[in-house]
Amino acid sequence: MIKTINELLQIKSFGERYEYLRIDGSVGESTFGFDRYLNQMLYRSREWLRTRDLVIIRDDGCDLAMPDWPIKGRIIVHHMNPISIEDIEFTITTSLILIFWFASLRILLSDSFQQ
């Protein structure tokens, strides 16, 4: 089941929101192993940092987007759905393709305006 922000916001209590988002993994369970560098590439990317800022703004800096639960101190943004190595590889590849495409388009457009 894919969890969504729209479904989460329909849940009224903090406890029920927590249960909705809870993943039944175990603490310290290996998720990326030797591919941890992909995880770090994602979380250091401009796209992730921008998305993180938008999520914090959307949730008004509140825990589980609960208006009466403001977060004091460092805010950590978690995924609502687990991500895999394949998800990160797709995101990185897609981002690189889009960056290349936009750069190529910009070059083509600037060339056509100069003629």
pTM tops 0.85, yes or no: no
Give the closest residue to 17 by CA, choosing from 79, 75, 66. Answer: 66
- Structural domain spans, the chain: 34-114
Residues with Cβ within 8 Å of 46's Cβ and at least 6 positions away in sequence, in order, are none
Total number of residues shown for the chain: 115
pLDDT per position in the chain (115 positions), as tens? 788 888 999 999 999 999 998 877 655 555 666 677 777 777 888 888 888 898 899 999 999 999 999 999 999 888 787 777 777 666 655 555 555 555 555 555 554 444 4
